[in-house]
Structure 1
Amino acid sequence: MDFGQLQPGAHIRGLDTGGIAEIIQVRSFGPDALNLVFRVNGKIGERLLYRGDEIPFKLVQPGRAYAFDADGALLRLVSEAWRLRLAHLFDPYLAITLSRIEALPHQITAVYGAMLPRQPLRFLLADDPGAGKTVMAGLLIKELLIRGDLERCLIVAPGSLVEQWQEELAEKFALSFDLLTRDQVENSVTGNPFAERNRFILRCQVVRRHWRNQGFRRPVS
């Protein structure tokens, strides 16, 4: 038989003394060496072959370069996952589509026209009260998560607004954020809550108190 006929799925006589071997995996080491993983009578074996070793072998059934015997349900699941991962390429406003909001024109312009195109992303959003800054922030976070550009997120908000942020992000964008507290830090197994969860909301008073404890002071003008 020919050296090139040693492919996954091929049934070979002479490769193993136990009987006809079905090749499962082929790994090439240059043009003249192959590492074969094969199955004989339900047992798995492995053998390194060099060009010329295949001469006494006999090809019982040729292999296939590609097999179509995978789990159909698993293939569908993987395909759907990739479709969702690439969905933002076909729907530039995917976060709006997947959220329970009616985005206003100025919010869409701010997020998709000004924020997302920036590299690196640094943006100061200082809009009037009631303009929907929470909605814009939620849209930005969700869009970055969909695109795979955001893994960890920390929101620092006034103490009286942290629950409002948490509720709005959950209700409007299906984004789950935990309130980061001293107890949560102390009870963390690793000492770093971000090693266990990726999204937190923190009261700005906690940050200010921590800075003061570390010796930081507001500069005097």
Structure 2
Amino acid sequence: MSTRFEQLAPGVVVRGPLLPEPVEVITTIPMGESIKLVGKGLRTSQVYDPVLSPSQIEQLSVSPTEQPFDGDAVRFRLGVEAARLGLAYEYDPYFSLSIARVDPLPHQLEAVYEYFLALPRIRFLLADDPGAGKTIMAGLLLKELKVRGLVQRTLIVAPANLTFQWQREMKDKFREQFEVMRGEILRSQYGQNPWQEKSQVVTSVSWISRIADAKESLLRSRWDLVIVDEAHKMSAYSQDKKTLAFQLGEALSERTDHYLLMTATPHKGD
């Protein structure tokens, strides 16, 4: 259907081969048989003012003045559901429980929802008894921060013998895919920085604190959330005798917004 000059009223949206994007008409100026169309691009807000001949005007398509209701109902419902899920955490304080495969205990809910999430910038040492479910607390925190749009890149630092256990539990209980970063991965990607390419990583505290190349490449990356398991392994003997692991912990604290340290071993607090 050809477009007539009368249809190019201010406010209508036109499309056509002569326009790089849909354009909302601001005004039209007659120029003999042609017209000068002044409009604003819907995607870029760039102003366009082409002079169009009658044949070029006929190539334009004009959006209807009243929106049709003949769209795909299934896609519309999916869009509504996506918007609802994106806002669900504002109405359900325990939203992450509905998308996780865990049945947390009261003390775990208290730690995550009354202490961790109450902080605008999480800096927390979680010192609880062995078997108290600190991994579940960390997973719940991760899920809540992700659904709120506060976290995209997460690093978990754990003892070497627990890295694959963390990877498995994050996948099984929280549907979160983590990659275990090891020396062979760094060597196989020489000249690249896999820390920056991966958004969810588990690594070994002993390896990353002792191998200079691994530590250097890690510290070139920034993280939204860093979780340290068995954090007592990062303790220092004194202020002037900082261990390699302690120095790693200090450096990571400067490269993340949210920092969760977890330990079950009593120590002096240093």
TM-score, shorter chain, exceeding 0.5: yes
- 1: CA distance, partners of 2:136 / 2:164: 15
Gaps (5+ residues) in structure 1?
11-23, 38-45
Aligned partner of 1:48 among 36, 47, 50:
50
How big is the shift at 1:118?
0.8
Residue number in structure 1 paired with 2:38: 34
Q: Relative to structure 1, is the Cα distance of residues 5 and 145 closer, same or farther in structure 2, using a 3 angstrom cutoff?
A: closer
- 2: CA distance, partners of 1:65 / 1:220: 73
How big is the shift at 1:67?
4.2
Gaps (5+ residues) in structure 2?
1-5, 16-20, 30-36, 42-47, 216-235, 243-270
- Verify the 8 A CA contact 1:153 1:200 in the aligned structure 2: yes
**Amino acid paired to 1:142:** K
Give the length in aligned residue pairs. 193
Aligned partner of 1:7 among 12, 18, 21:
12
Report which structure shows greater RCO (CA 8 Å, sep ≥6).
2
More deviation, 193-202/175-184: 193-202
How big is the shift at 1:126?
1.3
**Amino acid paired to 1:165:** W
Q: Relative to structure 1, is the Cα distance of residues 30 and 62 closer, same or farther in structure 2, using a 3 angstrom cutoff?
A: closer
- Verify the 8 A CA contact 1:28 1:34 in the aligned structure 2: yes
Alignment of 1:62-101 (within 5 A): 63-64=64-65, 66-101=67-102
How big is the shift at 1:83?
1.7
Q: Please give the root-mean-square deviation of Cα atoms over the aligned residues, in Å.
A: 3.9
Q: Deviation per CA, 1:57-83: give whole Å up to 9, x if none.
A: 9xxx99315344444333333222222
How big is the shift at 1:102?
1.4
**Amino acid paired to 1:35:** G
SS class of match (1:124): strand
Alignment of 1:189-208 (within 5 A): 191-208=192-209
- Verify the 8 A CA contact 2:14 2:25 in the aligned structure 1: no
SS class of match (1:123): strand
Q: Relative to structure 1, is the Cα distance of residues 209 and 62 closer, same or farther in structure 2, using a 3 angstrom cutoff?
A: closer
Structure 1-normalised TM-score?
A: 0.70
Q: Relative to structure 1, is the Cα distance of residues 134 and 75 closer, same or farther in structure 2, using a 3 angstrom cutoff?
A: same
Q: Relative to structure 1, is the Cα distance of residues 31 and 144 closer, same or farther in structure 2, using a 3 angstrom cutoff?
A: farther
How big is the shift at 1:92?
1.1
- Verify the 8 A CA contact 2:13 2:22 in the aligned structure 1: yes
Q: Relative to structure 1, is the Cα distance of residues 48 and 183 closer, same or farther in structure 2, using a 3 angstrom cutoff?
A: same
How big is the shift at 1:100?
1.5
SS class of match (2:157): strand
Alignment of 1:136-151 (within 5 A): 136-151=137-152
Structure 2-normalised TM-score?
A: 0.59
Q: Relative to structure 1, is the Cα distance of residues 96 and 71 closer, same or farther in structure 2, using a 3 angstrom cutoff?
A: same
Alignment of 1:147-162 (within 5 A): 147-162=148-163
- Verify the 8 A CA contact 2:10 2:25 in the aligned structure 1: no
More deviation, 77-86/187-196: 187-196
- Sequence identity, in percent? 34
Q: Deviation per CA, 1:133-156: give whole Å up to 9, x if none.
A: 111001101111111111010100
Larger Rg: 1
